[in-house]
Amino acid sequence: MEGLLSMNIVLLDQKTLGDDLNLEILNSFGELSTYATTSHEETEERIKDAEIIITNKVIISKSFMQNAKALKLICIAATGTNNVDLEAAKELGIEVKNVTGYSTSSVVQHTFSMVFYLLEKLEYYNRQVKSRVWSQSGLFTDVSQPFSELAGKKWGIIGLGTIGNEVAKVAETFGVTINYYSTSGKNLINDYHHADLERLMSECDIISIHCPLNDNTENLINQDNLKLLKDGAILLNLGRGGIINEDDLAQALDNQNIYVGLDVIKTEPIEENNPLFSISNYDKLLITPHIAWASIQSRKRLLKGIVENIEHFLERQVEE
């Protein structure tokens, strides 16, 4: 843009932002090199002359930064920063910027999409119609799979941050009671009742996960607490894969009457030998390919945040 320095910019994983997003504005900052995806083996060569890197999930290690002699700014096209060695960046004088708050509305909406899909047995009823079973029944309706209303249920939230709070606010409008569990043990003063994890798992009809993956939350949900779930309970993970032990979850789905919605998996994309592919009843499990964050509006806000981070960086460079 006028008055700003021209930079050599490398976008490493454009495909994760979507082919429908117009990235033309990034060309205004200098010379833009765009790659649909970038493997670990390709990263060093692609960033060696870059002054600005844009990465969503591509890992930027200390050695990569050391060999990118011109590198000044790493823009993470996400909120999470675990794909960049932040200590190394600080040591090398490389600025790192992420984008926060852009996906809240999208994740909240997807949370409720999953709840209603599982609560109202929509997989089953969709199949009843398309398989012609309903056509052949002679009845104007089909109530062969009972489902219930959201009103009056108890909803437990694991991780009452920005997204968890918004989920709670919307859920309350449907007449649910909110309980939550703080994974850090620090978020204990707010409008909702805090419960320990075991109580949350055993008492709530719906449990949604909105916390980050860290030492406190890895394998947080496992065979020890999955067995506590109520009959017919719904468990959702919109936080990070790895928070739920997937081997234990597969066993629970086969042995308990529970329903599960996952937007995140420990290894993404999901591996073909994932134990969740082997469960006996797919109607009890909904998996989406890490899309909760990715509405078109959310991705546009993300791009806007990236652009603003580059603008602010370049403005400081000019001032200096």
135-144 residue pLDDT tens: 999 999 999 9
Q: Which of 42, 45, 198, 268 is catalytic?
A: 268
State the pLDDT confidence band at 121, using cuts at 50, 70 and 90: very high
| 199 catalytic per annotation | no
Q: Which residue is catalytic, options 46, 210, 240, 301?
A: 240
pLDDT higher than threshold 70 for residue 165: yes
The predicted pLDDT at position 2 comes to 54
Q: What is the DSSP track for 187-255?
A: ---SSSEE--HHHHHHH-SEEEE-PPPSTTTTT-B-HHHHTTPPTT-EEEE-S-TTSB-HHHHHHHHHH
d(CA 260, CA 153): 17
Question: How large is the greatest C-alpha to C-alpha distance in the chain, in angstroms?
Answer: 78
Integer Cα distance of 289 and 37 in angstroms: 17
Is 240 catalytic? The answer is: yes
Which residue is catalytic, options 110, 210, 290, 301? 290
DSSP 3-state assignment of 73? strand
Can 290 be counted among the known catalytic residues?
yes
Predicted structure pTM score: 0.94
1 pLDDT band (50/70/90 cuts)? low
- From CA 268, how far away is CA 311, in angstroms rounded? 32
Q: Would you give the distance in Å from CA 284 to the centre of its chain?
A: 21
Checking if the pLDDT of 304 tops 80, the result is yes
- Average per-residue pLDDT in the chain? 96
Model confidence at 164: pLDDT above 70: yes
Domains and CATH numbers, the chain: 7-100+296-319 (3.40.50.720), 104-287 (3.40.50.720)
Closest CA to 206 of 184, 182, 174: 174
